[in-house]
Structure 1
């Protein structure tokens, strides 16, 4: 396999390490670097843990470039797995398959290793106790700007440090008397932390250090709010023949405000129709909820636009690959990470995610190696809505949590 010079350099930097982390920006080819490292380590068995939506991509990659036996693992007996194999399993199933604990003599690779940021989750506990000889971690955003979320990953790299010591050394906290808990307010000694991680086989690399990618341009598409939105914003309750929404908790109130600014806002749907009708270029549209998908797809069908889909239920990129005027609908959780969509240079955010890591990664679906055009990001923003606060939060790499929403509501 022919690698780019920067990929060769990464492998050379970690040649003597059997536990490595390739924190390469999206688009720098972590897939190729990770699979080449796996081949170099040359263990009889290999496990790749990835998101469900990436299983087919990884299977195709290994079958095209290597001679491994590729097994998408479900309920097989480990004793039946032949040597020179790669077992692919998704994060949601790995903790349900105790059979994997029987495997020995293997290399374990985690695609998007930020998925184990919570060391107390069932998936993280299972992965941390697997007896892997070698570890390969892949992520473009290993922390999403939250360095405390590195702890599970550095344990896999072999750094024997307690959680309390790690937090005390690198995290700035303040005690909240009202809640009787610590709040993280910042970080310290970050350069020292990165130097330490490099001694444990971690490589950090940004796209701008390697390639000159095209410019990025943000465009705000302002949308009029509806009477329903303003009523709910005032009373936190709506009762109509078609719709009943009661925001009796911060979680419900936040959810319904997002939906009223999006899928229940006919002004936004009409504006989106105009945008879709005004171009024959490929459009990538990010959305959150199934009802959003249903309504956006209906518009695309009425305009006779070919539709591609990446969601938790379906991945079909036929229209995206074959038609320049296609509409590709991407659900954040299923498609913001890992997919190559650089045939398009226009992303429309019909609604915003509340997860900063998904927001950051979504932009890189088009702004990556192979993109030759300026990348445009269209933010469909309902006037005076929760969406503006969400965008401000996401741009500071902060999740827009229920707690943050509650605090802002109390201030107002």
Structure 2
């Protein structure tokens, strides 16, 4: 059931392991085989994002493996939404943490619970295409799980380089770099396998089309005056957060909507639209519902076609909210992807790209990135292209604050 690159990765792994394989390279099937290779009769626990639990992908894959080998696999599933409450119920399980970047923050309840669960487990596996997108800070919880350090304080004391920044009368020490990075790199490589999609798969082409719009009148007003007159009254963008929201939302909704309508009318291929604002999705759904079959993954809705329908599926559009569905779902039935509004998170961006362009895709995938010229969107995509998050600091640089 495994490709040669998966067999090689499995042979090089230890019972506790981190698979940092690109989205779509088959981490699910590989990790099930990892469990079968190392387990001693204990049950399996899959900890995963809520969207993936609802979608049922793990259950399907486990059943497929069980049927293939004519064996029974005893397993339970747990969402990251409940791990802080229920982690203690799974002593003696072999644990797979799918999309383990959900637990990289050692200070969060989720991160603490995951660390505690690894101590109760017989063995554990971490899976993510982007386990450490923000550098060494993201690896601390992983290093604690593998017992390289006792706690976050010990890690920072040994490796963090601090500088003092002044905010008015306050002085704050912030991390500006890292010591002994070669040592950290050796530690990370000793517990992980990293593979890119290009190393693994013979996929059809992935084509990017950047669609550029002129900034809207509203955008120019907000950029200049920080105030916008609407039917409901004046809106003041008098904080950094409000200004970011205003520039992002008002970049050019009208032309984006019209261009999407044109694309939708010109094809019966299946489309996926990644969006940020609920109002964007509502406008798009109103526009396309008469001509397209609508699917959706959001904080409130999880409606996707079953795998049995994929082969004959056409003329559909799937709306995916970044926060809810950038990770953990399979959308290979679609081959036209639209980034309607950019996300600030490189991790979400990279994960979103892999929803359609992954193992099992048979068609060329075209990705349309909507970019408003001379706007915040250009700055955001510049950061994402450099594999970075678009941070508040980058936003301050963009507006010259």
If the length of structure 1 is used for normalisation, what is the TM-score? 0.85
- 2:263 paired with 1:275: yes
Bigger relative contact order, structure 1 or 2 (CA pairs below 8 A, ≥6 apart) = 2
Shift of 1:384: 2.7
Shift of 1:165: 5.8
1:240 is aligned, of 211, 230, 246, to 230
Question: Which residue of 2 is the match for residue 193 of structure 1?
Answer: 184
Shift of 1:180: 3.5
2:135 is aligned, of 113, 121, 146, to 146
Count of residues in correspondence between the two structures: 387
Shift of 1:192: 4.7
Question: Which residue of 1 is the match for residue 34 of structure 2?
Answer: 37
Question: Which residue of 2 is the match for residue 73 of structure 1?
Answer: none
- Summarize the Cα distance change of 1:191–1:344 in structure 2 as closer, same or farther, 3 Å threshold: farther
Shift of 1:190: 5.5
Note if contact 1:50-1:111 (Cα within 8 Å) is conserved in structure 2: yes
Question: Which residue of 2 is the match for residue 8 of structure 1?
Answer: 7
Note if contact 1:268-1:382 (Cα within 8 Å) is conserved in structure 2: no
Distance of 1:297 and 1:187 partners within structure 2: 47
188-197 or 366-375, which deviates more: 188-197
Question: Which residue of 1 is the match for residue 346 of structure 2?
Answer: 356
Question: Which residue of 2 is the match for residue 110 of structure 1?
Answer: 97
Shift of 1:402: 3.2
Shift of 1:250: 0.9
- Summarize the Cα distance change of 1:300–1:189 in structure 2 as closer, same or farther, 3 Å threshold: farther
Note if contact 1:223-1:381 (Cα within 8 Å) is conserved in structure 2: yes
Shift of 1:112: 0.7
1:5-404, aligned counterparts within 5 Å?
5-14=4-13, 17-40=14-37, 41-55=39-53, 56-66=56-66, 85-97=74-86, 100-130=87-117, 131-160=120-149, 163=152, 166-167=155-156, 174-178=163-167, 180-183=171-174, 192-199=183-190, 201-242=191-232, 244-261=234-251, 265-302=253-290, 304-318=291-305, 321=310, 322-404=312-394
398-407 or 220-229, which deviates more: 398-407
Shift of 1:58: 1.6
- Summarize the Cα distance change of 1:212–1:102 in structure 2 as closer, same or farther, 3 Å threshold: closer
- Summarize the Cα distance change of 1:248–1:85 in structure 2 as closer, same or farther, 3 Å threshold: farther
- Summarize the Cα distance change of 1:208–1:191 in structure 2 as closer, same or farther, 3 Å threshold: farther
Distance of 1:239 and 1:312 partners within structure 2: 31
Note if contact 1:117-1:149 (Cα within 8 Å) is conserved in structure 2: yes
Shift of 1:114: 0.8
Note if contact 1:330-1:336 (Cα within 8 Å) is conserved in structure 2: yes
- Summarize the Cα distance change of 1:347–1:103 in structure 2 as closer, same or farther, 3 Å threshold: closer
Secondary structure of the corresponding residue to residue 361 of structure 1: helix
375-384 or 318-327, which deviates more: 318-327
Distance of 1:168 and 1:359 partners within structure 2: 32
- Summarize the Cα distance change of 1:169–1:208 in structure 2 as closer, same or farther, 3 Å threshold: farther
The alignment yields a C-alpha RMSD, in angstroms, of: 2.6
- Summarize the Cα distance change of 1:189–1:204 in structure 2 as closer, same or farther, 3 Å threshold: farther
Note if contact 1:223-1:271 (Cα within 8 Å) is conserved in structure 2: no
Secondary structure of the corresponding residue to residue 66 of structure 1: helix
Structure 1 residues without counterparts, runs of 5 or longer? 68-82
Distance of 2:240 and 2:166 partners within structure 1: 22
Note if contact 2:376-2:398 (Cα within 8 Å) is conserved in structure 1: no
- Summarize the Cα distance change of 1:410–1:148 in structure 2 as closer, same or farther, 3 Å threshold: same
Shift of 1:175: 4.1
- Summarize the Cα distance change of 1:244–1:328 in structure 2 as closer, same or farther, 3 Å threshold: farther
- Summarize the Cα distance change of 1:338–1:243 in structure 2 as closer, same or farther, 3 Å threshold: farther
Q: CA-to-partner distance for each residue in 1:19-63, whole Å, 9 max, x for gaps?
A: 111111111111011112223314433322110010122233223
Secondary structure of the corresponding residue to residue 241 of structure 2: helix
